């Protein structure tokens, strides 16, 4: 490679200069023929055989490296194209998974980690039930769910129905009884008309607001806390263990802490 | 010499490679056009889910309570069809790695859309008070109220679907919205003739 290199370079430069007067790329196909006579001259050392043969040989020799180089370049650029496209795709997919969103919320309690049995899904049971958490976040519940298509209840509801709503993917916004109306209105604006949410006052709640999704809880002391929106964004629908089409209507719409069934 | 030809071909091959590579890079990965969090497609999928959810609710109420068998059939057909579409739209959001809950206000994806939201309700949606009346209505009053509310609901839904057809280039979304427009416009005509039938009979 290195030995023929220096020999050939000057000849290339010379030919380039002469043909360079025209258009190098366009001159090429036609330049091949003028090049023909030149080559036997240049290759005089290889004996002046028929000019035709070297041209053919030269053409054959050239196509190999050209094809290889072309394929190599093609593959390289193709790979670049793919990786660029893939990175663009992954940028768009930068949508953080909901579990990560949830765990990034300060002070959230994840019962899926601390009490997996509680969260894996539960039997229907009629009548009043007791829960280890207050407000409850999962576990056994009544066959009927509390309607949860963005309903703002103005009185306490039965937790046995509300837990069933959580199982269907609802976020339950429970607030301290006697919360001033303007603060209740701020919470209601996050719930009203938004399916898979419900809201009610909760007797005995010491925090201002307690957010529940199936297996998750977050207790806060201000209705202006930005974590309320984060909790809803991360867990509404996502926390359902029955998928996004579980119903939030056709259930109980009555208030009162005694379960209906 | 052979190197002379070679030297011409290298830039040509390179150019060809770049062109083909670019073509591959741009054409093959269709995923490049995945709708983003604030896109009309994501807004439509989320808001139409909300909108459809209420149609399902009204449809199920009328299915269990309406008197006229044609009204009941219509009601359950609307409920099941729209519930299926909710599943489809929620699957889109998952495919796009987006959450069911957006960060924008409802209808913000539509020009002047946010202004069309009244008390958190999108165009055509019934109030909680109207839903309560529907749950409690008796006799043919139930049928009449259902038709009245669902006609309004469909008019709002058709409008939203027409808007996303204008705004979106996502083939799947546009096709689904076109189906919605077609089926709801047909149902509107059917519900209007049921209205006449019922008021003539009562």
Structure tokens at A37: 């006579």
Model confidence pLDDT, tens digit, residues B99-125: 999 998 899 999 989 888 887 789 999
pLDDT value of position B26: 63
Please say whether the beta carbons of A199 and A232 come within 8 A: no
Residue B193: its H or E element:
helix B171-201
Is B103 in the same domain as B24? no
Confidence of residue B166 (pLDDT cuts 50, 70, 90): very high
Is B145 in the same domain as B197? yes
DSSP string, A82-109: HHHHHHHHHHHTT---HHHHHHTSTT-E
Tell me how far apart the alpha carbons of residues B89 and A32 are, in angstroms, rounded to a whole number.
62
Mean pLDDT of all residues in chain B?
90
pLDDT value of position A74: 83
Q: Which of A16-20, A203-207, B180-184 has the lowest mean pLDDT?
A: A16-20
Nearest chain A CA: its distance from B86 CA (Å): 7
Exposure string of B53-76, with b = 16+ CB inside 10 Å and e = fewer, is bbbbbbbbbbbebbbbeebbebbb
Across the interface, of B25, B36, B50, the residue whose CB is closest to A92 is B36
Structure tokens at A214: 């199936």
> Are residues B8 and A70, on separate chains, in Cβ contact within 8 Å?
no
Across the interface, of B2, B17, B125, the residue whose CB is closest to A70 is B17
Q: Hey, what CATH topology would domain A101-235 get?
A: Glutaredoxin (3.40.30)
3-state secondary structure of A257: coil
Is B102 in the same domain as B39? yes
> Are residues A95 and B54, on separate chains, in Cβ contact within 8 Å?
no
Model confidence pLDDT, tens digit, residues A83-120: 676 655 544 445 789 999 999 999 999 999 999 999 98
Confidence of residue A48 (pLDDT cuts 50, 70, 90): low
What's the count of helices (H) and strands (E) in chain B, helices before strands? 6, 0
pLDDT value of position B118: 84
Tell me how far apart the alpha carbons of residues B68 and B171 are, in angstroms, rounded to a whole number.
39
**In chain A, domain spans:** 4-92, 101-235
Tell me how far apart the alpha carbons of residues B13 and B171 are, in angstroms, rounded to a whole number.
36
Model confidence pLDDT, tens digit, residues A207-237: 999 999 999 999 999 999 999 999 999 999 9
The parent domain of residue B4 ranges over 1-33
Is B113 in the same domain as B159? yes
Is B105 in the same domain as B20? no
∠ CA A92-A98-A101 to the nearest 5 degrees?
Answer: 90
pLDDT value of position A38: 47
Which DSSP letter does residue B115 get?
A: G
pLDDT value of position B150: 98
């Amino acid at each position: 490679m290195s030995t023929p290199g220096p020999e050939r370079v000057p000849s290339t430069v010379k030919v380039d200069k002469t043909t360079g007067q025209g258009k190098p790329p366009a001159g090429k196909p036609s330049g091949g023929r003028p090049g023909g006579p030149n080559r036997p001259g240049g290759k005089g050392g290889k004996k002046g055989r028929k000019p035709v043969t070297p041209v053919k040989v030269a053409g054959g020799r050239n196509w190999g490296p050209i094809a290889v180089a072309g394929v190599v370049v093609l593959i390289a650029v193709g790979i670049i194209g793919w990786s660029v496209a893939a990175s663009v795709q992954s940028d768009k997919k930068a949508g953080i998974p909901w579990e990560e969103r949830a765990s990034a919320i300060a002070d959230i309690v994840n019962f899926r980690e601390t009490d997996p049995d509680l969260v894996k899904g539960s039997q229907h049971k009629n009548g009043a039930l007791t829960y280890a958490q207050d407000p409850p976040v999962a576990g056994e519940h009544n066959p009927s769910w509390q309607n949860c298509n963005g309903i703002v209840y103005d009185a306490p509801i039965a937790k046995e129905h509300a837990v069933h709503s959580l199982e269907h993917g609802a976020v339950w916004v429970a607030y301290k009884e006697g919360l001033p109306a303007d603060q209740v209105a701020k919470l209601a604006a996050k719930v009203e008309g938004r399916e898979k949410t419900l809201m009610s006052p909760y007797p005995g709640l010491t925090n201002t607001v307690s957010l529940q999704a199936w297996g998750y809880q977050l207790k806060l002391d201000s209705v202006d806390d930005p974590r309320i929106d984060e909790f809803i964004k991360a867990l509404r629908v996502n926390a359902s263990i029955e998928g996004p089409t579980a119903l939030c209507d056709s259930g109980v719409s009555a208030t009162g802490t005694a379960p209906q069934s | 010499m052979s190197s002379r030809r070679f030297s011409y071909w290298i830039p040509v091959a390179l150019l060809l490679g770049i062109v083909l590579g670019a073509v591959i890079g741009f054409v093959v990965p269709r995923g490049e056009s995945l709708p983003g969090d604030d896109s009309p497609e994501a807004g439509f999928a989320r808001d139409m889910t909300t909108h459809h959810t209420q149609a399902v609710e009204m449809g199920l109420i009328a299915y269990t309570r309406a008197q006229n068998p044609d009204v009941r059939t219509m009601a359950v057909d609307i409920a099941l069809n729209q519930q299926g579409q909710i599943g489809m739209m929620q699957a889109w959001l998952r495919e796009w790695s987006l959450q069911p809950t957006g960060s924008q206000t409802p209808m913000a994806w539509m020009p002047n859309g946010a202004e069309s939201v009244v008390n958190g309700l999108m165009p055509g949606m019934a109030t909680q008070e109207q839903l309560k009346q529907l749950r409690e209505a008796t006799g043919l009053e139930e049928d009449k109220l259902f038709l009245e509310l669902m006609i309004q609901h469909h008019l709002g839904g058709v409008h939203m679907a027409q808007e996303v057809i204008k705004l979106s280039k996502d083939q799947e979304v546009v096709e689904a919205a076109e189906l919605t427009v077609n089926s709801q416009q047909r149902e509107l005509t059917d519900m209007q003739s049921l209205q006449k039938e019922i008021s003539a009979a009562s």
